[in-house]
Amino acid sequence: MERKERKLLAARLRGLSLFRGVLETGPFAALCDLLEAEDPLNQLALLGEVCSGLTPWEGDFCRFLREKVFEDENPVIKAKAAGKTVSEALEANCRKDLYLFSMLSALKPEDLCPEYEDIRPVFVSEPVDFAAEYEDRLANVAKHGYGIFAGAGMLRLDDAGNIVPVESPDAITLDSFIGYEYERGRVLSNTKALLEGRPAANMLLYGDAGTGKSSTIKAVANALRPEGLRLIELRKDQLLRLSSVMGRIAGNPLKFIIFIDDLSFNKNDSDFSMLKAALEGSASVKADNAVIYATSNRRHIVKESFSDRTAMDDVHINDTMQELMSLSDRFGETVYFQKPNKQLYLQIVTDLARKAGLDLPESELAEKAEAYALRKGSRSARAAEQFVDSLR
């Protein structure tokens, strides 16, 4: 690359407008300096910084560019997502910035550091038509999303209350399951209704441990992510942040599952009222593009003792008990996952063993599986999976 071309490219990079925030990420600071550098040794050092900055993307410059460009929350994509008109000036700046990213995607290490061929570090790149790809993003923003939701299908709240991607999301798929077709079908059908803009219910999945309640929700989220579905997981102790989460996603063209795993309350939990308000559709804690899916081992989520029912200091004890017992009834749908009978348990074991490539006589496999379930204290899909894992 000629010196004049490098200078012009550096000037274009300094002049980014709509995607200005991208300059603050990854290796861009070093890249700007590198394009302006003239001393070969300085070029080599700055190329090392660029390659070091690309390490989280496995040295793939185009993968880095795609992630940063597509996740950028700029006024153009926000306006498109809201169905608003974009000004000519913003449209023009968007085109110029995308043209620059296409130019950058074609860069090779030798363009940036012509000398020191034997020792210069390398990165991977290939030409990308960012204008065409971004046009597709804008046209299908309800499926692709933008910002943090563009690159992640499963998210969570950190301790500061920020929505962040799950670092190692569960990649489970719907065809991973054996049995429970009816239960999964109800969850899948309700979630498709949400995506299609039809009425969708908040759902409580309850029943025996290890029967696939949480896995069902995650598998549905994975299956429908290409259609514009995202999952945000909240711990029970984060329910007081539910209102802010709903506010964060309200108006977003994507659809969301707010996932609360292993839910149960004591009667004095402060989180109780927040969830109750959300399930009742309170305007302050409800988003039209979201449903709440919770799992619990209990049908009645609020724990109570016999002494609660005989309290003498509550004038309206019956009303109080109804309040505590009715939380689960506020979910629009409840789905019961009961532990598998012997036949289903052995079917799960057999299918998992076959997928794992285990070669055992069916009678021997069944005998060992039953013995394992006896030691565990019950039959469950989780126990079947753990048993097969123990044979590998």
Q: How confident is the model at residue 11, as a pLDDT? A: 93
State residue 265's pLDDT score: 62
DSSP string, 91-145: HHHHHHHHHHHHHHHT--HHHH--S-TTT----B-----HHHHHHHHHHTHHHH-
Q: What is the pLDDT of residue 54?
A: 95
pLDDT value of position 301: 58
- The one-digit pLDDT tens for each residue of the chain (392 residues) are 888 899 999 999 999 999 998 888 879 889 999 999 999 999 999 999 999 999 999 999 999 999 999 999 999 999 998 889 999 999 999 999 999 999 999 999 999 999 999 999 999 999 999 999 999 999 999 999 998 999 899 999 998 999 999 998 999 999 888 888 899 999 999 999 999 999 999 999 988 888 889 999 999 999 999 999 999 999 888 888 888 899 899 889 999 999 998 887 665 566 666 676 666 665 556 788 999 998 987 655 555 444 444 444 544 344 444 444 456 667 888 898 888 888 888 888 888 888 888 888 888 888 888 888 888 777 888 888 888 888 87
pLDDT in the model for residue 72: 92
Kindly give, in sequence order, each residue whose CB lies less than 8 Å from that of residue 213, ignoring residues fewer than 6 positions away. 205, 206, 207, 295, 337
pLDDT value for 50:
95
Q: Would you state the pLDDT for residue 267?
A: 58
pTM exceeds 0.75, yes or no: yes
- State the pLDDT at residue 309: 46
CATH classification for the domain delimited by 163-337, as one of 3.60.15.10, 3.40.50.1980, 3.40.50.300, 1.20.1050.10? 3.40.50.300
pLDDT confidence of residue 345: 82
Complete DSSP assignment for 241-304: GHHHHHHHHTT-SSEEEEEE-S--B-TT-THHHHHHHHHTT-GGG--TTEEEEEEES-SS-B--
Q: How many CA atoms lie within 13 A of 238 on its CB side?
A: 20
Looking at residue 307, what is its pLDDT? 46
